[in-house]
C-alpha cells in the first residue's frame, strides 16, 4: 500500500492569505458600491427637491399670470362697456347738437322777426312822444318811464382796433365801448339820465363766459368797455329805472358794425 501524501502547509497558507485578500477586496468593492449608491441617491434626492421647488415657483408664477390675465380680461370687458357707453353718449350728444343748431336757427329767425316788429312799434311810439314839453311831463310820471325808455333810448357802441392777432378768429383784436343813446332834447335826456340808477350789459358770448358789465356813469351815458375778436349778436341791455324797474333792450353789434363781425 502507498503511504498517504503529506499536506503542503505553505501552499495552504498562501491560498488562505490570497482568499483573505480577495475577500477584503470584495468587501471593499461592495462597500464602495454601496457608498456610491448612497451618494448618487442623495444627489438625486437633492435634484428632485430642486425640481420640486422649481415646479412650485413656476406654479406660483403661472397662478399669478392667470390672475393677471383674468384681471386684464375684466379690464378689457369694463373698457369695452365704457367704450359702448361713450359711443352712445357721443351719438346722443351729436343729436343734441344737431337739435340745438336747429333751435338756434329757429331762435335767430324769430329774433329777426321780433326785432323788425320792435323797430316798427318803436317808430310808431316815437310819434306819440314828439312834443318836448309833453315828454317832460310824462317822464315825471313813473308809469310812463318804462315805455319811454323802450321808445326813446337805444343802445349804441363804438370800437377801435387794438392789434392784429393771429390767434384771434378774425385775425384782429378790438376794444369795444357800449353805452346808451338819449333823445336829442337835452332837457329830456338829462331828466331821463337822472332817473336811471344803473345799466347792465349781458354780452352773451358764444364760446367764452363774460361777466355782465355794469355802469352807473350817467354823465357819460353809462358806458362799459370790453375787448374781443369781433362783435356779438345778442347783447341784452338792462336799464334800472327809478319807479319803473328794469327795462331790457336788445342790441345787435353785428348789425351795427358788420365790418368787424366775428366769423
pLDDT greater than 80 at residue 1: no
pLDDT digits (tens, 9 = 90+) for 190-247: 999 999 999 999 998 877 788 999 999 999 999 999 998 999 988 999 999 999 999 9
How far, in Å, CA of 42 to CA of 56, rounded?
Answer: 21
> What spatial distance separates the first Cα and last Cα of the chain, rounded to whole Å?
155
Query: Residue 71's domain spans which residues?
Result: 52-128
Confirm whether 225 is domain-assigned.
Answer: yes
pLDDT greater than 70 at residue 3: no
Predicted local distance difference test score (pLDDT) of residue 141 = 95
- Average pLDDT value over all residues in the chain: 84
Confirm whether 226 is domain-assigned.
Answer: yes
Distances in whole angstroms, Cα of residue 222 to Cα of each of 58, 178, 181:
83, 8, 9
Please check whether residues 185 and 121 belong to one and the same domain. Answer: no
Sheet holding 172-181, edge to edge: 154-164, 172-181, 224-228
Please check whether residues 138 and 217 belong to one and the same domain. Answer: yes
**CATH code of 254's domain:** 2.60.40.1970
Distances in whole angstroms, Cα of residue 126 to Cα of each of 3, 120, 135, 149, 164:
182, 10, 11, 11, 42
pLDDT greater than 60 at residue 263: no
Asked which of 128, 159, 177 is the last residue of a domain, the reply is 128
Asked which of 109, 128, 147 is the last residue of a domain, the reply is 128
Confirm whether 28 is domain-assigned.
Answer: no
How far, in Å, CA of 239 to CA of 248, rounded?
Answer: 6
Please check whether residues 104 and 139 belong to one and the same domain. Answer: no
Number of domains in the chain: 2
Asked which of 128, 157, 175 is the last residue of a domain, the reply is 128
| Lowest mean pLDDT, pick from 66-70, 140-144, 173-177 | 66-70
Burial of 22 per CB tally in 10 Å (0-12, 13-18, 19+): exposed
How far, in Å, CA of 222 to CA of 162, rounded?
Answer: 22
121 touches 147 (CB < 8 A):
no
pLDDT greater than 80 at residue 111: no
Predicted local distance difference test score (pLDDT) of residue 251 = 95
Amino acid at each position: 500500500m502507498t503511504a498517504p501524501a503529506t499536506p503542503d502547509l505553505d501552499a495552504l497558507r498562501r491560498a488562505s492569505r490570497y482568499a483573505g485578500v480577495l475577500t477584503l477586496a470584495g468587501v471593499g468593492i461592495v462597500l464602495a458600491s454601496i457608498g456610491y449608491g448612497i451618494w448618487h441617491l442623495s444627489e438625486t434626492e437633492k435634484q428632485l427637491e430642486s425640481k420640486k421647488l422649481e415646479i412650485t415657483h413656476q406654479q406660483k408664477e403661472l397662478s399669478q399670470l392667470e390672475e393677471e390675465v383674468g384681471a386684464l380680461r375684466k379690464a378689457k370687458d369694463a373698457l369695452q362697456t365704457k367704450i359702448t357707453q361713450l359711443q352712445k353718449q357721443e351719438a346722443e350728444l351729436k343729436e343734441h347738437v344737431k337739435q340745438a343748431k336747429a333751435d338756434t336757427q329757429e331762435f335767430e329767425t324769430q329774433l329777426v322777426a321780433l326785432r323788425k316788429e320792435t323797430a316798427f312799434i318803436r317808430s310808431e311810439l316815437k310819434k306819440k312822444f314828439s312834443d318836448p314839453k309833453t315828454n317832460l311831463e310824462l317822464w315825471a310820471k313813473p308809469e310812463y318811464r318804462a315805455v319811454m325808455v323802450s321808445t326813446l333810448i337805444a343802445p349804441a357802441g363804438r370800437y377801435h382796433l387794438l392789434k392784429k392777432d393771429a390767434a384771434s378768429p378774425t385775425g384782429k383784436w378790438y376794444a369795444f365801448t357800449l353805452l346808451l343813446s338819449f333823445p336829442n332834447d337835452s332837457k329830456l335826456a338829462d331828466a331821463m339820465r337822472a332817473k336811471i340808477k344803473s345799466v347792465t350789459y349781458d354780452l352773451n358770448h358764444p364760446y367764452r363766459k363774460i361777466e355782465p358789465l355794469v355802469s352807473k356813469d350817467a354823465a357819460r351815458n353809462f358806458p362799459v368797455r370790453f375787448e374781443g375778436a369781433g362783435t356779438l349778436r345778442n347783447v341784452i341791455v338792462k336799464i334800472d329805472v327809478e319807479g319803473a324797474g328794469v327795462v331790457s333792450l336788445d342790441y345787435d353789434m353785428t348789425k351795427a358794425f358788420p365790418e368787424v363781425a366775428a366769423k
